[in-house]
Structure 1
Amino acid sequence: MRDITGYFSSAVLVLVLAACDDDPAVSADDCAGPPEVTVTEPGAEPHEIMEHSPTAGDTATLDMRTTTEISAEVDGDRVPASPVPPMLLGMELTVDEVGDDEIAMSFVYDYGETPGGDPAVQRVLDSLVGVSGSVTTTRSGAFVDGGIDEGDLDPAMSEMVDQLEQQLAQLTIPLPAEPVGVGAAWEAASSVEIDGVTTCNFTTYRLAEFDGDDYELEVGIDQQIVPATVQEGSASVEIIEGEGHGTGRNGGSLSLPIAVSGTSEATTRMRMNVEQGGTEQEQELTVDVELEISPRE
């Protein structure tokens, strides 16, 4: 089982990194510690405590569609980027245990398809069908831990597993501990570390709709990557700087501690030095991602 160390506070946004020369470099101390939720506006009356109260055995089946566009520069020259086919991945999630403080869930990927029909991508998605894992949250929805059981997956799938683990954590939403009403706004600061790279996440939420159970949230996220040097095979990668921004909207209910619907858009850019075989290059990647999550009918 691969563990996710840290917490992703946005339910529907993928990790976004964009270079930002005007901002000072972020450090891990800027977002260290457990996630903290701060209410900035309490919203309209009546105010209620938003706490998840699922029942063990509850299930949900979700479909997640991702569309990605990538552009790249090497030493200042634009290079062709391979097109990324859209991907559709289905998940069946089950609530296993509901405690006083935490909720434990398990899941399995039960469907994978690329609408573009790319055979190589379809083979990757086929290999994920049947792969399972777990996720645990607090009763207020904050991500505690989770991971994917790689089992017999090809080690070359490691990067894909990282992305899926990020997406898994992003389905959780930290709710405020104090009573709030429609129009309420809160902020959450958190961090995640994957493969030795720490990213600070600063997320804002606005409660657009709430009927005592079902809710709709407007979400904005700013992310900064902590500069680091990592080893990728025979290449040494120095991540110089990064920052990202995205917006989205997601919905769910207090009877299940994950988002069951949502859309998001995010633009990314990351600048890094790559050294391999005595040759060094400066690379910059720009990524546009659209994500849609919907309950399967």
Structure 2
Amino acid sequence: MKKSLFVGCLVLLMAGCSQKSTSTPTSAESPSTSTQLAQESPKTPSTTQSNVELINAGTEPKQQLRFTPAANTKQTLQMTMHRDMTMSVGGQTQPTLDSQSIKTTMESEVKQVDANGDIHSDFSYTDADVVAGKNTPPEMVNAMRSQVKKLVGLRGSMIVDNQGNTKQANFNLPADIDPSTKKMVEQMVNSLKQLSSPVPSEAVGIGAKWRIPHSVTANGMTVNENYTYELIELKDKVATLQVSLEQQAESQKINQQGLPPGASIDLKSMNSKGNGKLKMALNQVMPMSSTMSVRSNSQMSVKDPSSEKTTTMDMKVSVEMSLESK
């Protein structure tokens, strides 16, 4: 397989993961001419059906967890995602691609809180960059940096109910935005729901567990995932949760824009497991801090259009994510 195609496939797959992980709400300078991408109608918020499945209500005393930030509440969030990857192509182990980090800075502000508890926020990306490891090919670093940098200056708004369910999310984009960036932001809009951490409608106590299942399509791949949360501390309206994640994707063709003409990627299997900790203040809309460690194994076949040869690729990826807000 030509190196350019090999690297191109990796960039597309890895960029898709980074978009999903860093798609946290933000606010910036408004472009003079803009268009709007919306998850729901930009005029009328939808009523949201929570998909939280309560497993165990925990011990007494119990209380309902509800988000109650005041208008004008501001947060600055700094997120770092560090990635290591090993792979084999056609049965041959490739050099390890290590120490690749994506760092972003985001700002959010609560604009209003409705009588029913709906929280309206503005958000923006103020900084984003890629920090490469010594074994990461420069062409991959440059390609990913060019994509990640496009986040800077993007602004939008969201509406979240007082249980943490995202009811509406919008991004304002320049009218002349290029197709690749528009596609990236569309994926970001779709992933905003996955960034929220909805809480049960029922009263819960220490030891409570709940599950949130998702079926998401990102970067041309459909993935089934389950987040499980356990409440381990609740003090002064600050909840601390243990988080676990399971992801699984069936065999499928990955319909990814940007592949060379005639090239194709067929996913054979993908499984991921992760765990971490989340701390959230109920008087804020964004987490106070979060850490997550994920390990993923996948196998796919890549068709080279120049030779019609199909090559099997096995990939193991470890991702460490951290978020701090102030």
Assess same fold via TM > 0.5.
Answer: yes
Matches within 5 A, 1:28-43: 36-43=51-58
Higher mean C-alpha displacement, 168-177 vs 33-42 = 33-42
Matches within 5 A, 1:186-201: 186-201=210-225
Distance 2:313 2:213 in 1: 29
Q: Provide Cα deviations, 1:47-67, integer angstroms capped at 9, x if missing partner.
A: 111111223332111100111
Contact 1:102/1:139 (8 A) holds in 2: yes
Alignment RMSD = 3.1
CA separation of 1:236 and 1:113: change in aligned 2, threshold 3 A = closer
Q: CA shift at 1:290, angstroms? A: 0.6
Q: CA shift at 1:68, angstroms? A: 0.6
Q: Is the aligned partner of 1:140 residue 2:163? A: yes
The letter of the residue matching 1:294 is E
| Match of residue 41 from structure 2 | none
| Match of residue 25 from structure 2 | none
The letter of the residue matching 1:110 is T
Contact 2:187/2:218 (8 A) holds in 1: no
| Match of residue 10 from structure 1 | none
Residue 73 (structure 1) aligned to one of 88, 94, 117: 88
Distance 2:98 2:180 in 1: 20
Contact 1:162/1:194 (8 A) holds in 2: no
Matches within 5 A, 1:162-177: 168-177=192-201
Distance 1:260 1:122 in 2: 27
Contact 2:207/2:230 (8 A) holds in 1: yes
| Match of residue 236 from structure 1 | 264
Contact 1:197/1:226 (8 A) holds in 2: no
Contact 2:278/2:290 (8 A) holds in 1: yes
Residue 108 (structure 1) aligned to one of 124, 148, 152: 124
In the alignment, structure 2 segments of 5+ residues that lack a partner are 1-19, 23-47
The letter of the residue matching 2:216 is V
The letter of the residue matching 2:206 is V
How many residues matched?
267
Higher mean C-alpha displacement, 190-199 vs 266-275 = 190-199
Contact 2:221/2:255 (8 A) holds in 1: no
Higher mean C-alpha displacement, 110-119 vs 97-106 = 110-119
Distance 1:213 1:111 in 2: 30
The letter of the residue matching 2:274 is G
| Match of residue 222 from structure 1 | 246
Residue 179 (structure 1) aligned to one of 195, 203, 208: 203
| Match of residue 246 from structure 1 | 274
The letter of the residue matching 1:257 is V
| Match of residue 286 from structure 2 | 258
Q: Is the aligned partner of 1:90 residue 2:109? A: no
TM-score, with length taken from structure 1: 0.77
Q: CA shift at 1:98, angstroms? A: 2.9
Residue 288 (structure 1) aligned to one of 303, 312, 318: 318
Q: Is the aligned partner of 1:202 residue 2:230? A: no
The letter of the residue matching 1:263 is T
CA separation of 1:147 and 1:239: change in aligned 2, threshold 3 A = farther
Distance 1:198 1:271 in 2: 15
Residue 279 (structure 1) aligned to one of 309, 321, 324: 309
Residue 60 (structure 2) aligned to one of 22, 28, 45: 45
TM-score, with length taken from structure 2: 0.71
The letter of the residue matching 1:45 is E
CA separation of 1:109 and 1:85: change in aligned 2, threshold 3 A = same
Q: CA shift at 1:85, angstroms? A: 3.1
| Match of residue 11 from structure 2 | none
